[in-house]
Structure 1
Amino acid sequence: MRTLIWVSISILAAGMFRARSAQALDGHVLDAINGQPVRGAIVTATVAGGTQIAVAAEDGSFQFASAPQKVAARAIGYGRAAAVTQDDLSHLVLRLSPLRPKGLYLSVYGVGDAGLRDAAVKLVDITELNALVIDVKGDRGLIPYPSGVAGAISCGARSQTTVRDMSAVIAYLKSHGIYLIGRIVVFKDHPLANCHPEWAVKVTKGQLFRDREQQAWIDPSRREAWSYSLALAAEAAALGFDEIQFDYVRFPDAQGLQFSVPGTAANRSAAITGFLAAARARLAPYNVFIGADIFGYVAWNESDTGIGQDLLQLVETVDYLSPLLYPSGYKYGIPGYADPIRHPYEIVYLTLRHALERAHISPLRLRPWLQAFRDYAFDRRLFDADEIRAQIRGAEQAGSDGWMLWNPRNIYTADGLSPR
């Protein structure tokens, strides 16, 4: 049976009535399968003055001093739950179902193409898959649906519409029990950088930097530029995405660039963790999970890898980290394995285990990207059933919170996937 994302809720009414303005609310967050407390669950309450946050105690309990209008909860390794409260309510039980997202990626174009989208849904229906990662803002800064975010139209991000009604697409996907992850490419943003060159990364002569794909970037240390992606994340959360995943949340991996602050590791890391902290604050009212994509080598490097991604700092800012563990991307290999594409299992398993040893976090907080496309760096071999299954086995044996398959063409098969 497919995992249910919105989970069951039971409400226990109090024996006496009190005015809502003075009534306190307490409750518990429990595992929907075994009834055990979910320690550390994040509980979000919507009150007249805004949003209040509580963390479930060892016994799963939480409390709010005044009665909220709505209560929602989420926890690492689980889905989400929400309840609208009642005037006579004094105790609430929220039940969370365990969830290990196993997903496919759909680009700006893939989510708008009925054939590609329906093919992905069919794979969810017949295999172990239960999630989709959908571009909300893609690699070229494009937003595929009619967004209400200021600047989206004027800066050219809405030059193409591939999804006319994102709410309808989300409803369709959720009818199939799919966990939805909204991917937002943050600092690689060609339209925004051209619209606001004062925010853009520059080369030594002052011109806009362009990467190998001729795309301009936003300087992550320009905090005034953050509001655009943060507003888009809030819009995606309101549309119903279960998780917001930030990609290209880093500095460009190039030399000789100019930023608004000195290019030190401390400044780079502060900009990236600062943005993610701002995202957490902005998204607090929506009860959504927050994820970040990181370079695979970040798991091995004790520095910020020259891009502002410091593993030990990043784990403090998001719910889930998603290292890009494509063997083709490991041009230097890893210790003991100089030829990465011949060892897809070891690349995934050993990288995740090394990250866990360094960060001392639950393996459920790591959900890697896996390679489902032809090798481009070594011998151009196909990554089909054997390579895909080897990567999945590496992720799961490391204890990971699921995994995600990346194919830029959005063409997937059941090869390497277990049947439902």
Structure 2
Amino acid sequence: MKALTLLVTLATLTWGASTIGTVFDKTTQKPIPNAIIISGSKEYRTDCNGAFKVPASPIIGARAIGYERKFYKSGGRMYLQPFQPKALYLSSFGATHGKIMGNAKDIIKNTEINALVIDIKMDRGQIAFATTNPIANKIGAQELILFKDIKKFTAELRKEGIYSIARIVTFKDTPLITAYPQWGVRKSDGSLFKDKEGLYWIDPSQKESWDYMISIAEETAKAGFDEIQFDYVRFPDAKGVRFSVENTQAERVKAISGFLEAARTRLTPYNVFISADIFGYVSWHNADIEIGQRVDALSPYVDYLSPMLYPSGFNAGIPGHPDPVKANYEVVKQSLDKALEKSGTSPLAYRPWLQAFRDYAFDRRIYGAKEIREQIAASEAFGSCGWILWNPRNVYTSQGLK
């Protein structure tokens, strides 16, 4: 890395107050068009020949979908290594539990797994590291500080060659709404809405609430995570709810895409990848299925969309496959194909969540080697930028993995 940086420094070309350079694929030596270049707090893109010219900055960031991210002290010839995260999900508890984390690292050592998705802002609003955010401390979101030194934690993952993705549960947050009820989703009678778990939701159209989530994401990016993943970045899938704006598709989509646009702007200086989790059925609909998620509207503001393609979650099946747990390959492949039709981007702009837990909706089958491999095969046939295995209990084996 030091030698490469020195080489690039020697090859630097500057003109006036600008820095120019070209980004190449480290493996093929071919230029990378549309790569992202970060200079200061602004985002730029390389042209069709991989070239760029940006305002001079002490540090230049570079990244592209399907590649790693890098930082350079100057321009010239830059090289990005192709990289596709193949991840396991770990809760904050799992990531800080010696046995669970040890098992995950053993799987990483012996299989194709090379990344971890780790809860940072959890489902119940707790933030798993010691944040400096005053609101988090005020509302009681620091009762479960599981990462004693988050920067050291990410540095150790990086040293071991593990790509780190920070999962930020966005608009489901009981502590925040308890303290700031004016930001909460309401029922038709005006009272605060609670979901089936008894948890409060933030109304995504309440822009005043956005700063809290984005600030936590910023602090997480500063800690060294490679990617920020926004989950529950949607309106609740519930009837009889009220928001601060009219409950229409246009307003819902505007709120969710607006949040992601604001988050991307704030996260730009850190050259961190940004992703968003979306419902599996979103891939199949032109409308937002009443939650504000539409792939064509969200894709401009993230590097990756991660549809949750668990066959057990497709309660109505998909066309031609009413029993989705018997059609693992088809559910994943066809859902990704449908999403791509709507976004018009690249297969590399997708990284699906895959099922690694026992079926709960159909025949109760265990998802073992066959079922996991079928899903992976579908994702890879589509050409996605990796995939993520989900098991809420963090119970993983090498079954189905290469």
Q: Is the 8 A contact 2:170 2:232 kept in 1?
A: yes
Q: Is residue 2:188 matched to residue 1:204?
A: yes
- What residue number does 1:88 align with? none
Moved more, 157-166 or 238-247: 157-166
2: CA distance, partners of 1:154 / 1:352:
42
> Which one-letter code corresponds to 2:167 in the other structure?
R
TM-score, L = length of structure 2: 0.96
Residues 46-76 of structure 1 show CA distances to partners (whole Å, capped at 9, x for unaligned) of 3xxxx233211111111124x3111110001
Q: Is the 8 A contact 1:7 1:79 kept in 2?
A: no
Q: Is the 8 A contact 2:11 2:76 kept in 1?
A: no
Q: Is residue 2:68 matched to residue 1:84?
A: no
- What residue number does 2:42 align with? 52
1: CA distance, partners of 2:368 / 2:223:
34
2: CA distance, partners of 1:224 / 1:361:
31
> Which one-letter code corresponds to 2:36 in the other structure?
I
- What residue number does 2:59 align with? 70
Q: Is residue 2:8 matched to residue 1:11?
A: yes
Secondary structure of 1:11's aligned partner: helix
- What residue number does 2:262 align with? 278
How far the C-alpha of 1:341 sits from its partner, in A, is 0.7
2: CA distance, partners of 1:40 / 1:182:
25
How far the C-alpha of 1:165 sits from its partner, in A, is 1.1
How far the C-alpha of 1:239 sits from its partner, in A, is 0.7
How far the C-alpha of 1:153 sits from its partner, in A, is 1.5
How far the C-alpha of 1:84 sits from its partner, in A, is 2.1
Secondary structure of 1:249's aligned partner: coil
2: CA distance, partners of 1:58 / 1:288:
23
1:250–1:43 CA distance, 2 compared to 1 (3 A): same
Q: Give unmatched runs, 5+ long, in structure 2.
A: none
Give RMSD over aligned pairs: 1.8
- What residue number does 2:330 align with? 346
- Pick aligned residue for 2:168 from 169, 184, 188: 184
How far the C-alpha of 1:404 sits from its partner, in A, is 0.1
How far the C-alpha of 1:282 sits from its partner, in A, is 0.4
2: CA distance, partners of 1:184 / 1:114:
23
2: CA distance, partners of 1:199 / 1:376:
34
Q: Is the 8 A contact 1:108 1:143 kept in 2?
A: no
Number of aligned pairs?
401
- What residue number does 1:161 align with? 145
1: CA distance, partners of 2:300 / 2:319:
27
Residues 136-195 of structure 1 show CA distances to partners (whole Å, capped at 9, x for unaligned) of 101111111111122111111111122111111111111110111111010011111111
Q: 1:351-370 alignment to 2 at 5 Å? A: 351-370=335-354
Residues 258-306 of structure 1 show CA distances to partners (whole Å, capped at 9, x for unaligned) of 1111100100000000000001100010101110000000000110111
Q: Is residue 2:231 matched to residue 1:247?
A: yes
Q: Give unmatched runs, 5+ long, in structure 1.
A: 86-90
Moved more, 394-403 or 106-115: 106-115
- Pick aligned residue for 2:34 from 31, 37, 40: 40
> Which one-letter code corresponds to 1:34 in the other structure?
T
2: CA distance, partners of 1:369 / 1:154:
34
- What residue number does 1:315 align with? 299
> Which one-letter code corresponds to 1:38 in the other structure?
I
Q: Is the 8 A contact 2:12 2:77 kept in 1?
A: no
Residues 325-383 of structure 1 show CA distances to partners (whole Å, capped at 9, x for unaligned) of 00010000000000001111111011111212232221001100000011111121111
Q: Is the 8 A contact 1:31 1:37 kept in 2?
A: yes
Q: Is the 8 A contact 2:333 2:379 kept in 1?
A: yes
2: CA distance, partners of 1:413 / 1:295:
26
How far the C-alpha of 1:39 sits from its partner, in A, is 0.5
Q: Is the 8 A contact 1:193 1:218 kept in 2?
A: yes
